[in-house]
Amino acid sequence: MDVNKNFEFVTAFGTFKVSELMQQYVFEDCFPSIQKFLALRLPMKEKEKGLIRKMLKLMFMSVGYKSKAIHEKRIQQFVQEVRAIPQLQDLGGDVNLASLGITTDDQEEN
Amino acid sequence: MMYMAEMKLQYTQFMVNDKQMPEIDIPPEVAYVISYIQLIAFSGMGKNASSETRAQAIFPIEDVIINMKIADFCYPLKSAIMLFLEHIYFDVEKDMNEDFIGQVWAIVEYVADDLQKFVEVMQRSKRQGGAAMARGGAEGGTLDLVNEMGSVEELNKV
């Protein structure tokens, strides 16, 4: 199965491109879930730290492919949560929203 | 697993026929499972120990991991499983036991693989000259950051 081909899924509610479903999966489901998972602050061994480091890097790389306001909101919440966890600061969690090209709610008001 | 094989077969047939935009039907049985998982997930929203415990008994973490593996390219099913994990296993009132902590890293690995696949697909579509996949997604400053971070291949070397 090559997911790189942009095929469509036919459901009872209509037809959706797989790329749209991938975006929805990543930004609307993975980001909030991983946010809650990291908030558990589980103890990590070296291997697990490496996995978290890789995952955080991939998550921040995927930010460039957001396409909806809800994606941006989820990314904001994720970054704010990650920055509040000291354990993650050495694992690539010390990213700020501006460097990801995302404006905060406060900036939008100004 | 049988339904996933059926969906893969549909995809293979489309590829053999060389159609431009293959369509894959989600079998009603899979659609039912997706809705069922979502329904149980919503029952555990917020800190709700009683519902969370019941939901965990209905869909144990071992089954969640197996389903995550089986789901493969079926993103609606994966979305439902992630929603379930968020509300029933991660955002919980009670502390998690040792068994869960031992098994949860398998899920993190699957998510990391999916993210890698997502970034690869999006990078490829960007390189191929703005296919519909990346439309509206890759904007100015954020793209610079992605370029700074490098490619997925480089990440794997690390």
ipTM given for this complex: 0.82
Residues B133 and B84 in one domain: no
Residues B35 and B87 in one domain: yes
Residues within 8 A of B (CB atoms), A 21-80 only? 21-26, 28-30, 32-34, 36-37, 39-40, 42, 48, 51-52, 54-55, 57-67
Q: Which of B69, B94, B119 delimits the end of a domain?
A: B94
One-letter amino acid identity for A29?
A: D
Gap from B88 CA to chain A (nearest CA, Å): 10
Measured between CA atoms, the residue of chain A closest to residue B118 is A22
- In chain B, the number of structural domains is 2
Residues B10 and B63 in one domain: yes
Report the C-alpha gap between A29 and A33 in whole angstroms.
Answer: 6
The shortest CB-CB distance from A51 to any of B22, B109, B145 is to: B109
One-letter amino acid identity for B117?
A: K
| Residue B7 maps to a domain | yes
| Residue B150 maps to a domain | yes
Residues B58 and B121 in one domain: no
Taking alpha carbons only, the member of A26, A60, A44 closest to residue B105 is A44
Residues B80 and B116 in one domain: no
Beta-carbon separation of A33 and B85 below 8 A: yes
| Residue B39 maps to a domain | yes
Judge whether B21 is closer than 8 Å to chain A, CB to CB. Answer: yes
For B79-110, write each residue's pLDDT tens digit.
Answer: 999 999 999 999 888 777 777 888 889 999 99
Q: Which domain holds residue B138?
A: 111-158
Residues B12 and B83 in one domain: yes
Judge whether B5 is closer than 8 Å to chain A, CB to CB. Answer: no
Residues B125 and B79 in one domain: no
Residues B55 and B122 in one domain: no
Residue the block writes with tokens 């991939």: A58
Full pLDDT tens readout for chain B, 158 residues? 667 777 766 666 666 665 555 677 788 888 899 999 999 999 988 878 888 889 999 999 999 999 888 887 888 899 999 999 999 999 888 777 777 888 889 999 999 999 998 888 888 777 765 545 444 444 444 444 444 445 555 555 54
Residues B90 and B118 in one domain: no
Report the C-alpha gap between B42 and A92 in whole angstroms.
Answer: 32
Report the C-alpha gap between B93 and A17 in whole angstroms.
Answer: 37
